[in-house]
């Protein structure tokens, strides 16, 4: 069963990679294989909802509010027990905000009713950029090789959001009944 799951994951990641590469390269001019690979992997990972809420507080409760995640990430005034924990949570915040602003931008403002909330779409984008920038500053030991990737993700955050929105729109078009009937006729 695990091999079958891995195979499905590989097929899904290849599918997302094709979509992300095409929209990032052709539509927004972002031609960086490292960035497109990362974003395609992120889409594949977040297909499993438990990965969306993998950050947990000290009581083991999953966090799905960016404001609460920010509190969890702070090693000085917040709840993070170490700088490694700060990096882990900040990376997730970057991933989470990129995913939601790109794939579900309409859902961001619905979260305004939450307690430790980020107020707007713009706040999500700023927080995502900042989080990836903080992750990129971890330039030592095992993090040294991936630090430049997170700097690129921070610098091109808005482009990545825009490209993901195009991916979202294409996925929606693929689900349209006319497109589904055309696929049935081809097969």
Q: Domain span at residue 124?
A: 57-186
33, part of any domain: no
Model confidence, pTM:
0.88
| Under 8 Å between Cβ of 127 and 93 | yes
pLDDT of residue 176: 75
129, part of any domain: yes
The total number of structural domains in the chain stands at 1
16, part of any domain: no
Query: Which residues share a beta bridge with 56?
Result: 62
pLDDT of residue 165: 97
CA–CA distance, 87 with 69 (Å, rounded to integer): 12
CA–CA distance, 86 with 175 (Å, rounded to integer): 39
**Tokens standing for residue 106:** 């309409």
Mean pLDDT of 143-151: 97
Mean pLDDT of 41-56: 94
Q: Is the pLDDT of residue 1 over 50?
A: no
Buried b (16+ CB within 10 A) or exposed e, 16-53: bbebbbebbeeebebebeebbbbbbbbbbebeeeeebe
Q: What is the pLDDT of residues 62-116, one digit of tens each?
A: 998 898 999 999 998 888 889 999 999 999 999 999 999 999 998 887 655 454 5
109, part of any domain: yes
Instruction: State the pLDDT confidence band at 21, using cuts at 50, 70 and 90.
Output: very high
Q: Classify residue 156 as left (phi > 0), alpha (psi -120 to 50) or beta.
A: alpha
5, part of any domain: no
Q: Is the pLDDT of residue 151 over 90?
A: yes
Q: What is the pLDDT of residues 22-44, one digit of tens each?
A: 999 999 999 999 999 999 999 99
């Amino acid at each position: 069963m695990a091999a079958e799951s891995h195979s499905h994951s590989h097929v899904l990641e290849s599918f997302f990679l094709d979509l992300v590469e095409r929209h990032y390269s052709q539509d927004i001019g972002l031609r960086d294989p490292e960035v497109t690979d990362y974003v395609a992997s992120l889409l594949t990972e977040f297909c499993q909802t438990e990965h969306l809420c993998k950050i947990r507080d000290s009581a083991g409760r999953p966090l799905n509010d960016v404001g609460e995640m920010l509190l969890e990430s702070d090693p000085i005034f917040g709840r993070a027990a170490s700088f490694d924990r700060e990096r882990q949570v900040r990376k997730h915040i970057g991933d989470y905000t990129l995913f939601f602003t790109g794939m579900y931008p309409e859902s961001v403002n619905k979260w305004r009713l939450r307690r430790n909330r980020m107020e707007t779409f713009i706040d999500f984008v700023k927080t995502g950029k900042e989080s990836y920038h903080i992750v990129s500053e971890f330039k030592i030991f095992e993090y040294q090789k991936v630090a430049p990737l997170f700097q690129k993700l921070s610098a091109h955050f808005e482009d990545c959001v825009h490209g993901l929105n195009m991916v979202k729109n294409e996925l929606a078009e693929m689900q349209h009944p006319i497109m589904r009937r055309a696929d049935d006729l081809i097969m």
